[in-house]
Amino acid sequence: MQQDMIVILDLGSEQNTLIARDIRTLGVYTEIHPHDITAEQLKALPNVKGIILNGGPNRVVDGVAIDASAAVYESGLPLMAVDHVGKVPQALPAWPEEEKARMDALSGFVFDQCHAERNWNMENFIADQIALIRQQVGDKKVLLALSGGVDSSVVAALLIKAIGDQLTCVHVNHGLLRKGEPEQVVEVFQKQLGANLVYVDASERFLTKLAGVADPEQKRKIIGAEFIRVFEEEARKLEGIEFLAQGTIYPDIVESGTKTAKMVKSHHNVGGLPEDMQFQLVEPLKMLFKDEVRACGVALGLPENMVYRQPFPGPGLGVRCLGAITRERLEAVRESDAILREEFALAGLAGKVWQYFTVVPDFKSVGVRDNARCFEYPVIIRAVNTIDAMTASIELVDWAILQKITDRITHEVPGVNRVLYDMTPKPVATIEWE
Ligand code: XMP
């Protein structure tokens, strides 16, 4: 690891992530560590140039204000104390919440006091990770569940570069993917990047398991469990795999509501693999924030629409085909979603709106088609903006764009005679319908 590092010490702040990201924006690598970091742990971190003691509302634990370990004060490194509730231990100015002032303060500390170099960039990160992956894996084999989502796609591209055909990717198509998605995964990873790719079309198997199941939670459980079963069956067919690669990213391991001492969540996303399959984990993105994962993907040459794609739930279109899934309505979801994406791209909304998709409910309404009565399904359009998906507001899409989409959907998607727009923010509605 060649990059200089600023350590952010968690003294009960809720803004560790914000500061970590801000400094990385300045071009300097950061890591968040617990307040009681030991001298050995601190010494083991490469190229630390300074430490930010990041206090905040959770600083007082059981009536006592926690402080940084002696190792920190004895390190001889430049220290910066900040406190986001104004209760500053020493006579320091209140921490500026306003962005410009905050960036100026951080920049002054990082460059003038710590003399850190601006050397955090994706080229350096990729070069470091390739060396680290090769060191960790040696000549052994690695398995990756490649969903086609941003994180697993970037891990795949990085591992192909680092270890080539020692990597096997398994792409499970559960039949609930968007139009063109499985084809793109095969095209990019197998044809363009030359990966060992096992493509499993398990659509029929999933649809059979889901037949007649209307309860949303039940549907989610079936899709999740079946996904692991298919992946496990494929993994068992492969010989000599010792490592499992995962697209874990930094927000997954930094605890969101900082409880100071407990920093790292247990890794739960190996999820359900049988205990007799002993894998070691390869997690090359575990120190990256989402925007950095995307930048890494671009630097590795992945297509923009793969790297900048909107969030997509694991159960896929299964939770947008409401109630018991039928082939007819699933196709209506898939086709209407493709039209919506196409029209949003044409209207310049694709990169602007956080998430947008269509939903097909399990009831019909009366309409008129070719001078005759028709009885068909409606399509619901949902387009929302959010920072963290905890709350969301709707996108106020231009009427003319909505009219064009309505016209296309009602003429191009079989069995659909009506289009509705979901006006509801979160709360009270969730983003997805199920
Ligand atoms: P809700 O519907 O809870 O969704 O407001 C918030 C965000 O999470 C996505 N979502 C999922 N993502 N697996 C995922 O990886 C899931 O099971 C899942 N369910 C919802 C949803 O698309 C939205 O972005």
Q: Is 224 in the pocket of ligand 1 (CB under 6 A)?
A: no
The Cα 75–Cα 68 span in angstroms is 11
Task: List CB contacts of 400: < 8 A, sequence separation 6 or more.
Answer: none
**Residue of minimum CA distance from atom 15 in ligand 1:** 313
- Residue-level pLDDT at 99: 80
Residue 61: phi and psi, rounded to 5, are -115, 120
Its pTM stands at: 0.90
Ligand 1 atom nearest 319 alpha carbon: 19
3-state secondary structure of 303: coil
Q: Is 314 in the pocket of ligand 1 (CB under 6 A)?
A: yes
**Cα 313 to ligand 1 centre (Å):** 5
- Residue-level pLDDT at 360: 99
Distances (CA, A) of 210 to 27, 134, 218, 315, 337: 48, 42, 9, 12, 21
Interior angle at CA 261, CA 256 and CA 263, nearest 5 = 40
- Residue-level pLDDT at 13: 86
Burial class (CB in 10 A: 0-12, 13-18, 19+), 186: middle
The Cα 172–Cα 103 span in angstroms is 44
Retrieve residue 405's tokens.
């989409």
Query: DSSP assignment, residue 317?
Result: G
- Choose the residue to mutate in 431, 433, 434 for probing ligand 1, maximizing ligand atoms within 8 Å of C-beta: 431
Distances (CA, A) of 259 to 57, 61, 66, 265: 10, 9, 11, 11
The pLDDT averaged over each successive group of 10 residues in the chain (434 residues) is: 92 89 96 95 96 89 88 96 60 60 93 97 97 98 96 98 98 98 98 97 98 97 95 93 95 61 37 68 96 97 95 96 98 98 98 97 98 98 95 98 98 98 98 98
- Residue-level pLDDT at 271: 45
- Residue-level pLDDT at 192: 97
- Residue-level pLDDT at 64: 86
- Residue-level pLDDT at 95: 59
Q: Is 367 in the pocket of ligand 1 (CB under 6 A)?
A: no
Ligand 1 atom nearest 430 alpha carbon: 5
**Cα 216 to ligand 1 centre (Å):** 13
- Residue-level pLDDT at 109: 97
- Residue-level pLDDT at 157: 98
Q: Provide the b/e sequence for 334-357 (b: ≥16 CB within 10 Å).
A: bbbbbbbbebbeebebbeebbbbb
Q: Is 391 in the pocket of ligand 1 (CB under 6 A)?
A: no
Q: Is 426 in the pocket of ligand 1 (CB under 6 A)?
A: yes
**Residue of minimum CA distance from atom 24 in ligand 1:** 311
Q: Is 313 in the pocket of ligand 1 (CB under 6 A)?
A: yes
**Residue of minimum CA distance from atom 22 in ligand 1:** 313
Pairing of the two strands 60-61 and 64-65: antiparallel
Other C-beta atoms closer than 10 Å to the C-beta of 156 total: 29
- Choose the residue to mutate in 426, 432, 433, 434 for probing ligand 1, maximizing ligand atoms within 8 Å of C-beta: 432
**Residue of minimum CA distance from atom 3 in ligand 1:** 430
- Residue-level pLDDT at 253: 83
- Residue-level pLDDT at 143: 97
- Residue-level pLDDT at 83: 77
How many CA atoms does the CB half-sphere of 415 hold within 13 Å?
17
- For the CA atoms of 307, 313, 316, 317, what is the dihedral angle to 10 degrees? -100
What count of residues does the chain have?
434
**Residue of minimum CA distance from atom 7 in ligand 1:** 389
Retrieve residue 116's tokens.
């850190």
Q: Is 430 in the pocket of ligand 1 (CB under 6 A)?
A: yes
All structural domains of the chain, each given as residue ranges with its CATH number in brackets, are 5-113 (3.40.50.880), 122-307 (3.40.50.620), 326-421 (3.30.300.10)
